[in-house]
């Protein structure tokens, strides 16, 4: 009798908690939502979420605000998100460094795979393998051949250590079996200026920052970093098409929340993001940044992140990329 009574009381005690969880998910959100962008204002990731914030405010019925917390190769902002209450009111914004940091950094302030849960991949940004006109290579294969003939003589610029163009170039070098010299700058703007001026030879540039220079002939676009061609540069092949089958090195951004966030809340966030991304004006503005809206499911985004982590672990180990 005591055993049966104990089981009954245990079962009964769990009912309020189940009800409370369902009620929380049903009433979500109950207060303003913070979007923690782990970069300074003005970058593509920041701009994408400033486009989305007012639409999410309309859809969710609570104020959605963007908060910039730069530093630590995105780990400072994402650590804030990871340590926030798991109630869906603080969103972290990961990008390409999210997959690379566990292998780049000796000590992480949070566990990438355990402390944050994927909600949705929001957008991807195609990069363009660009060269200064003085470089005697007019195709990807010619560039690879030139780099192999002159090991260590070609240099490339980036927006800084562990930036998207740094990581993309190292992934390309690893896949092509070549070695080039990295020259980091303090931001994407200076990196573009350096290659236009001939200080550097190569840059994986974003489309908005470089398309005018392709049109004027100040830069040569050899290939895009996505698997398929980009609508903004239809005459430019992908690296996968031109020389390295299966190659892809894209900048991306998405939404993650602290582990323990109720699944119903995650689903509500995903639905809101997908709806916002489907609004024609939002799509047009994001595409204008050189990005492609996505809005996939939590499971799809989770698989994407796992692939990124595994790929960067291999590349970083083989190439020896380090970040102090």
pLDDT one-digit tens code per residue, 190-207: 999 999 999 999 999 988
- Preceding omega of 213 cis (within 30 degrees of 0): no
pLDDT-derived band at 323 (thresholds 50, 70, 90) equals low
Instruction: Please tell us whether the domain made up of 31-124+250-319 is placed in CATH 3.40.190.150.
Output: yes
- Residue 279 backbone phi and psi in degrees, to 5: -70, 125
pLDDT-derived band at 10 (thresholds 50, 70, 90) equals very low
Question: Which fold would CATH assign to domain 127-242?
Answer: D-Maltodextrin-Binding Protein; domain 2 (3.40.190)
Strands 116-125 and 291-293: antiparallel
Calpha distance 103→182 (Å, rounded): 19
The structural domains of the chain, with segments of one domain joined by +, span 31-124+250-319, 127-242
Nearest alpha carbon to residue 119 among 92, 80, 96: 92
pLDDT-derived band at 73 (thresholds 50, 70, 90) equals confident
- Are 31-124+250-319 and 127-242 in the same CATH fold? yes
pTM above 0.95, yes or no: no
């Amino acid at each position: 009798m005591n055993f049966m009574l104990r089981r009954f009381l245990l079962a009964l005690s769990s009912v309020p908690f189940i009800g409370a969880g369902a009620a929380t998910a049903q009433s979500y959100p109950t207060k303003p939502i913070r979007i923690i962008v782990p970069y300074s204002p003005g970058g593509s990731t920041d701009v994408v979420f400033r486009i989305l914030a007012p639409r999410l405010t309309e859809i969710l019925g609570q104020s959605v605000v963007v908060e910039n917390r730069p530093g630590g190769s995105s780990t400072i902002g994402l650590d804030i998100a990871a340590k926030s209450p798991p109630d869906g009111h603080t969103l972290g914004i990961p990008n390409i460094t999210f997959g690379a940091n566990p292998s780049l950094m000796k000590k992480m302030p949070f566990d990438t795979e355990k402390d944050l849960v994927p909600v949705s991949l929001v957008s991807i940004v195609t990069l363009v393998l660009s060269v200064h006109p003085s470089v005697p290579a007019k195709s990807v294969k010619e560039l690879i051949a030139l780099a192999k003939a002159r090991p260590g003589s070609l240099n490339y610029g980036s927006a800084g250590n562990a930036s998207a163009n740094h990581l993309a170039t190292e992934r390309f070098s690893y896949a092509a079996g070549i070695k080039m010299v990295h020259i980091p700058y303090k931001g994407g703007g200076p990196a573009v200026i350096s290659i236009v001026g001939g200080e550097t030879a190569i840059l994986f540039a974003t489309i908005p920052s470089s398309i005018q220079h392709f049109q004027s002939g100040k830069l040569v676009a050899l290939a895009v970093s996505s698997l398929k061609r980009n609508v903004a540069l239809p005459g430019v092949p992908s690296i996968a098409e031109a020389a390295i089958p299966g190659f892809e090195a894209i900048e991306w951004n998405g939404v993650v929340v602290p582990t323990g966030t109720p699944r119903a809340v995650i689903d509500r966030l995903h639905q809101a993001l997908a709806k916002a991304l489907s609004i024609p004006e939002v799509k047009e503005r994001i595409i204008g940044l050189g990005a492609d809206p996505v809005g996939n499911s939590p499971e799809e985004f989770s698989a994407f992140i796992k692939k990124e982590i595994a790929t960067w672990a291999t590349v970083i180990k083989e190439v020896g990329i380090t970040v102090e």
